């Protein structure tokens, strides 16, 4: 595939993530922080987010599987995930965490289980999409091209 | 344990060694202390947020030390024990930016300890929080916080903080800034910030069905459980006291 085509594909793909609400403007903020001195900043931060989130989701599954659910343990985890997903612009994960927290507040175990499933669903979705996005970027760079700056006017 | 390193663009940060391996930063000698450079101490228990705030600060030409708790911050500042230590007189910290919700010591508690110390009380302290809770903001500003940033923090927020800092007078002995005799707070040396910038528009505010949920902090979450020490109203206040739409920064003495 030609370089120009690859760059166009990347732009279209990125745009679709915003239009679908998978990513929000905070992701653009992260991209602004990437430059020649820190060319992998976004993928580094996102990778840390994935590692952090994998751990949190695991802890959440364990906590919710207990005979007696300790909401004092569950809520801080959700709060943490809400924060980190917000910081990288993973909008749907963040929104799912907000709903999750309200069920924690109500100490609704059934509701929390459903929320965890929803959070996981959104998380795996954004993880998958971002991994694809980074692959597209790598292909462009490997072909000697530049990653086009995201246009904000859509 | 954690140690300093120099990232490619010359910034200095304190990351735990496991974190450093993950971000691929090699261990190098920290550069010599440059008294003209702005040095910021960033405090956040979230690794992702620490990396982001550190980058935001470095890209605005600050030297950064990032730590993961209030205790580590006090340790860094030499405030963690009662013994006065001479080596901390040379420590130059121009601003402290801290998350509010942290396990153990909250950002508010850290703010109080800094304002109680003779060596660092004049250092501007900025609080960051993901929750737009007016009682929280009031409480922090009353305790002497310089500013309150709503997370996720944006480049424009940090640029604004940075431009406020360059207006301050620096003495050659480092961290103690001399204030005009007639001023009570550090705010008088700052240009009044545009009110709309403190709470920048973000998606959490623009999704209406979720904002009301966002405003009420959960009484169950332990990192936020600091209402015991306060006399102000609890954070689970009725809607009439807190509006998710309100974006104004609360005025602190000396700003108007």
Q: What is the pLDDT of residues A82-100, one digit of tens each?
A: 999 999 999 999 999 999 9
- CA-CA distances (angstroms) from residue B30 to A56, A119, B37, B223? 33, 41, 14, 33
Write the residue in A38, A41, A49 that is nearest to B48 by C-beta.
Answer: A49
Min CA distance, B49 vs chain A (Å)?
7
Min CA distance, B203 vs chain A (Å)?
7
Min CA distance, B99 vs chain A (Å)?
11
Provide the pLDDT for residue B5.
41
Q: Which one has a higher pLDDT value, B146 or B174?
A: B146
The full length of chain B comes to 256
Provide the pLDDT for residue A32.
95
Q: Which chain B residues touch A80 with a CB distance below 8 Å?
A: 46
Q: Which chain B residues touch A25 with a CB distance below 8 Å?
A: 202-203
pLDDT(A140) > 90? yes
pTM of structure: 0.71
Cβ atoms of B111 and B145 closer than 8 Å: yes
Selected residue of B6, B15, B48, B214 to mutate for chain A interface (largest A Cβ count, 10 A)? B48
Helix axes A71-88, A25-32, angle to 10 degrees: 60
| C-alpha atoms less than 13 angstroms from C-alpha of A102 in its C-beta half-sphere | 13
Q: Which chain A residues touch B203 with a CB distance below 8 Å?
A: 24-26, 91, 94
- CA-CA distances (angstroms) from residue B116 to B85, B135, B173, B196, B205? 16, 22, 21, 31, 35
pLDDT(A153) > 70? no
Range with lowest mean pLDDT among A65-69, B59-63, B236-240: B236-240
pLDDT(B32) > 60? no
Write the residue in B46, B52, B55 that is nearest to A80 by C-beta.
Answer: B46
pLDDT(A73) > 70? yes
**Which chain A residue is nearest to residue B156, measuring alpha carbons?**
A29
Min CA distance, A24 vs chain B (Å)?
7
Min CA distance, A72 vs chain B (Å)?
6
Q: Which chain A residues touch B204 with a CB distance below 8 Å?
A: 86, 94, 98
Q: Which chain B residues touch A48 with a CB distance below 8 Å?
A: 19, 22-23, 47-48, 51
User: How far apart are the C-alpha atoms of A143 and A123, rounded to whole Å?
Assistant: 30
The answer to whether B130 contacts A95, with C-beta atoms less than 8 Å apart, is no
Q: Which one has a higher pLDDT value, B126 or B2?
A: B126
- CA-CA distances (angstroms) from residue B165 to B123, B155, B190? 10, 15, 8
Provide the pLDDT for residue B243.
41
Q: Say whether residue A104 is in contact with chain B using an 8 A CB cutoff.
A: yes
The answer to whether B203 contacts A24, with C-beta atoms less than 8 Å apart, is yes
């Amino acid at each position: 595939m030609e370089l120009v085509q690859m760059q166009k594909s990347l732009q279209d793909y990125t745009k679709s993530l915003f239009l679908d609400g998978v990513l929000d403007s905070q992701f653009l903020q992260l991209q602004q922080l990437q430059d020649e001195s820190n060319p992998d900043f976004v993928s580094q931060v996102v990778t840390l987010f994935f590692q952090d989130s994998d751990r949190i989701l695991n802890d959440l599954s364990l906590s919710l599987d207990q005979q007696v659910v300790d909401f004092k343990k569950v809520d801080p985890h959700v709060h943490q995930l809400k924060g980190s997903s917000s910081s990288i612009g993973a909008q749907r994960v963040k929104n799912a965490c907000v709903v999750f927290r309200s069920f924690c507040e109500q100490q609704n175990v059934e509701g929390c289980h459903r929320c965890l499933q929803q959070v996981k669903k959104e998380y795996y979705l954004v993880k998958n999409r971002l991994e694809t996005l980074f692959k597209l970027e790598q292909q462009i760079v490997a072909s000697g091209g530049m990653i086009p700056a995201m246009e904000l006017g859509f | 344990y954690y140690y300093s390193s120099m990232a490619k663009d010359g910034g200095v940060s304190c990351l735990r060694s496991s974190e450093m391996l993950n971000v691929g930063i090699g261990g190098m000698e920290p550069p010599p202390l440059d008294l003209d450079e702005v040095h910021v101490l960033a405090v956040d228990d979230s690794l992702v947020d620490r990396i982001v705030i550190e980058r935001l600060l470095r890209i605005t030409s600050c030297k950064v030390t990032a730590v993961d708790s209030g205790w580590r911050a006090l340790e860094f500042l030499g405030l963690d024990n009662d013994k006065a230590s001479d080596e901390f007189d040379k420590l130059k910290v121009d601003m402290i930016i801290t998350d509010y919700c942290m396990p153990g010591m909250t950002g508010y508690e850290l703010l109080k300890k800094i304002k109680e110390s003779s060596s660092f009380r004049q250092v501007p302290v900025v609080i960051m929080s993901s929750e737009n809770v007016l009682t929280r903001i009031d409480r922090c500003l009353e305790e002497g916080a310089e500013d309150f940033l709503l997370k996720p923090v944006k480049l424009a927020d940090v640029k604004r903080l940075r431009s406020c800092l360059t207006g301050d007078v620096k003495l050659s002995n480092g961290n103690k800034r001399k204030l005009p005799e007639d001023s009570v707070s550090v705010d008088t040396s700052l240009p009044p910030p545009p009110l709309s910038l403190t709470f920048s528009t973000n998606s959490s505010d623009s999704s209406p069905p979720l904002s009301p949920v966002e405003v009420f902090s959960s009484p169950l979450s332990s990192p936020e459980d600091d209402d015991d020490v306060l006399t102000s109203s609890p954070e689970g206040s009725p809607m009439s006291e807190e509006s998710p739409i309100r974006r104004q920064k609360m005025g602190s003495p000396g700003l108007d």
